Amino acid sequence: MTEEPAPRRDRRIALLLWLVPLWLVVSACLGIWYHLHQEKVEAEKDTPRFATAISVPGLQGDVAKFIDFVGERHPGRPEGLNRAAAMIEGSLGPSNAGYKVERLRGPAAGGNRWPILIVSLRGKDEDLPPLWVVAAYDSRPGSPGVEANASGTTSVLAAASALATGKPKRTVNFAFLPHACDPESPLMETFAILHKRVGKASEVLVVEATGAKAKLLLSSRDARSRALRSAEGLGEVVGAESICLEDDFDLSSVLFETGLPAVRVSTRSVVTAAEPDSSAPDPAIHAAATTALLTLIGRLSDS
């Protein structure tokens, strides 16, 4: 008895059995790519921006909010840090200046985590290293922290708002730190997060204490810094020893030690622990210093 040959499998069926799983894999990959691409496109879309010129009443009002409403801002007074972060987000977010506010999760402190807040003004040449402008929004315990650092924070807020519709040559990133003025807070952990986010930068302007004089004081451990060369007419370049007392904490120095091209921008020396730091600055002087800061940012971002 002869055996019948096994029926030949239709090659088309075999091809389909191979193509169908392949198509499912390819289509799934394409779907994931498209979804991620659309997310990126949406993230990069510019929301409507609204620039607000620097003004004496505006700065005066913002400093008053820090003194009277926000108050002390440190882990021992969490409500103060919460209010300060909300004020920054509200001032620069979609309902006002129109920036998209990036929130980096800060280190744990007192059972809470306050964010590092960042807004960006995209430059026309994305190959250029960005300029960073940094201010701390906390205060030391026992003080409303006017010069350390409500004046600096409000100056950076005003500068970011004034530049909201600008088109600089290089990207400008504005960052607000929750820990820098209170020595008992997790300072180094905060700086490590910022350092990782900054990456390569042209300069990092650390803005502190802008209410003492109309002219700026700039200092950096890098004597070749572009910021120092761009200070003509805006203030003077000074050595770090002339504005930082020996035992005082200096944010710009610490950031420089982490490898960032930090430049301290201020109008006075570091606030000492013995100072109450509770008196509002002269609004006209504060506005003049803030305008000088804005000009400095413009010079650095357009070159």
pLDDT, position 191:
95
Q: In the predicted model, is pLDDT for residue 87 greater than 80?
A: yes
The C-alpha atoms of residue 142 and residue 30 are separated, in whole angstroms, by: 57
pLDDT level of residue 97 (50, 70, 90 thresholds): very high
Q: Choose between 160 and 221: higher pLDDT.
A: 160
DSSP 181: S
Reduced to 3 states, what is the DSSP secondary structure of residue 238?
Answer: coil
The C-alpha atoms of residue 141 and residue 282 are separated, in whole angstroms, by: 24
From residue 188, give the alpha-carbon distance in Å to each of 11, 55, 78, 269.
66, 35, 19, 22
**Other Cβ atoms within 10 Å of 46 Cβ, number:** 10
> What is the arithmetic mean of pLDDT over 283-301?
98
Q: Verify cis geometry, omega within 30 degrees of 0, for the bond prior to 149.
A: yes
Assigned token pair, 267:
């109008």
Q: What is the mean pLDDT of the chain?
A: 89
pLDDT, position 7:
54
Asked if residue 112 lies in contact with residue 75, where contact means CB atoms within 8 angstroms, the answer is yes
> What is the arithmetic mean of pLDDT over 121-134?
97
Q: 262-266 and 203-207: which strand pairing?
A: parallel
112-116, 209-213, 238-242: lowest mean pLDDT where?
A: 238-242
**Model-level pTM?**
0.85
pLDDT, position 41:
46
The C-alpha atoms of residue 45 and residue 42 are separated, in whole angstroms, by: 5
